[in-house]
Each structure stands twice: as C-alpha cells, then as structure tokens.
Amino acid sequence: MQQNQTLEQNTPSTTDGDKNLNRFSVAPMLDWTDRHCRYFHRLLTKNTLLYTEMVTTGAIIFGKGDYLAYSEEEHPVSLQLGGSDPAALAQCAKLAQERGYDEINLNVGCPSDRVQNGRFGACLMADAQLVADCVKAMRDVVSIPVTVKTRIGIDEQDSYEFLCDFIDTVSTKGDCDTFVIHARKAWLSGLSPKENREIPPLDYPRVYQLKRDFPHLTMAINGGVKTLEEAKEHLKYLDGVMMGREAYQNPSILTAVDNQLFDETMPIVDNIEAVRRMYPYIEKELSNGAYLGHMTRHMLGIFQGIPGARQWRRHLSENAHKKGADLTVVEQALAFVTRGE
C-alpha cells in the first residue's frame, strides 16, 4: 500500500464511550501507573481506560508477589502483558480474565534492552506471525478484548508497507481488531527508552492513513499528546487517543476528560475534592503496611499552575517518605492550596 498524506477525516468505527474502551486512555508506564496511581486517576475520570504497568508473563507465573492485584474501583482497567510465548500469554490472559480485568494488551512497542533480551516489546514487530500467534492464543481462552500496542516501525524496517503488513498479519491471523499505535518508530539499539520517546519524529498522518486503509479495525494513537484539544483533533480521524506522561505529570487534565470527550453533561472534577476522596484509600493502604510516599508521589502534579502548588509538592516530597508519615502530611500539604499560598 502507498501512503497517502491527504488528511481526510475518518468516521471512527465506534464513537460511543460505552462501546469503545479505547476512546481515551492513560498509557501504561513502568514504575508509574501502579495500582495507587490508577486509583487516583479513577477519581479524576470515570470513562478513561487505565492500564497497568507492563507485567511479564514470567512475573505472573513464577513470581512470589501478586502481580495482578488491583482495586475494583479502577474499572475499566487493562492488563498490559510482556511476553512472546503464546502458551504463557494464554495462561496469564486467562488468569487476568478470572481476576476481572476488562482488557488484555500485548506490548509490542517497548524498545528497552531489558525487554529485547526477553524477546518481547518492539522487537516483536520483526515477527508479525509470532505476534499473531500470541494474540490468537489469548483470544482462544478469553472473552475480553485482546489488543496490541505497537510502533510504526523499527530500525530500518519503517516503511508504510512494513507497517501495513504487520497490521494485516496480526489482525487476520491473530484475530486482533484493536491496535494502539505509537506514532514513532523505535530504534532497538543506540537510543535509550527515553530517547526513543523523543528523538524519532512523530508521524500522525501515517497513523491516520492506517485507519483509512483498515477501516474495520479500531485504531487509537499514542505519542506526544499533551492536551484534550489535541485529543479531539486526533479523534476526527481515529477511534481513540492514548495520553502518556502529560496525564501523569499534570493529572488535572483528566478532570475534564469525561466532560470533553465522552458526555458534556458530566461534571468537571474538582481537584481538591478528588484529593480528599483519596483519604479513605490512603488510610486503608497505610493500615495494610503501605508507605504514604508510594501513594502521594502520583498526586504531586495535580495542582499544577494553581497557587500553593509548589508548597504542596515540596511538603509531600519532604515528608511523605518519613517513617510513620500518615494522612496528616497530606492535609498539611493541601492547606497550602486551599489557602492559595
């Protein structure tokens, strides 16, 4: 297929937030989107699809901890899996469905050396048939959606034809109908994961074209999305938008998602009220042995641009990690915002 750069608007295959889980989502981010983060984000938006950090099949099957733990309040929530063994992925997908996850997502986008050494992530783009086998193995044992998050190419394999062949193989032979496309290619060597998020140029038109060439598939876009206005623009051509670091570092963006992208009759969430609604969760987790700082680190950016935000961040950063730190620390920090200092 030849890429056509004309930006004709697309009519997405599904636009109803209840039917399309992927209309707006917060990206899976290692060491960031843990269960504490997701609980807080859910207080800011009811409709956004939340993702776990990537969890490897080995951790789930052989690990000593409970890598599938989450709170019921997090729904809708997707488990992102890392792996390339169809049988192991099927086993984990089945466990995830039994635990109540709303979706399974296969990571075919992470370029880190650690991920490549395990033969999963972006390096899997070079073996579309294996990805198809992995997805099909999961689809055969679960009834919940199984989706793929990928890049637009890897290394020198970055032609539009390569991308189309990958999508065609995974969708037809893997029975995959939903893809989240990070609109950058990945360099598997020479760039760090951080550089791979910034240096390869974004190519939104290529993803728009992909949707036009595969209109029957659900396509969401990821990469560089920083505002809801940008999300609205992407939704003119695609079925969904995934926002990453901006949603984490400035979570107040999420307070308007339900109103702006799903249902204009829904209220915009009040930041201060959302923080206070975290109190019962914080108290429960503290009683179970969690550390305050493990929860409040996800809340640092909620008041970005509001008077008192700097003092809020400083007070939490300096005190939440201390032994015995409790809800009093959060209340003290919140006072800087409510007083507008």
Q: Confirm or deny that 75 is annotated as ligand binding.
A: no
Q: Is 245 annotated as a binding residue?
A: yes
pLDDT at 197: 80
Q: Is 301 annotated as a binding residue?
A: no
DSSP letters for 183-235:
SS-B-SSSS-HHHHTTSSPP-HHHHHHHHHHSTTSEEEEESS--SHHHHHHHT
Note the pLDDT of residue 117: 66
- On whether 244 is known to bind a ligand per the annotation, the reply is yes
pLDDT of res. 314: 98
240 in a labelled binding site: no
Q: What is the pTM of this model?
A: 0.92
167 to 108, 134, 150, 152, 174: CA distances (angstroms): 12, 14, 10, 10, 10
Q: Would the annotation count 41 as a binding residue?
A: no
pLDDT digits (tens, 9 = 90+) for 159-199: 999 999 999 999 999 999 999 999 999 988 878 878 878 88
Q: Across the strands, what pairs with 26?
A: 50, 243
Which residues of the chain fall short of a pLDDT of 70? 1-19, 114-118, 341
- On whether the CB atoms of residues 109 and 80 are closer than 8 A, the answer is no
CATH architecture of 271-336: Up-down Bundle (1.20)
Which CATH topology does 24-262 take?
TIM Barrel (3.20.20)
Domain boundaries along the sequence of the chain: 24-262, 271-336
6 Cβ contact partners less than 8 Å away, ≥ 6 residues apart: none
Exposed / middle / buried, residue 259 (Cβ in 10 Å: 0-12, 13-18, 19+): middle
Catalytic positions, written as ranges:
110
R_g of the chain, CA atoms, integer Å: 20
Task: Supply the pLDDT for residue 4.
Answer: 43
7 is in an annotated binding site: no
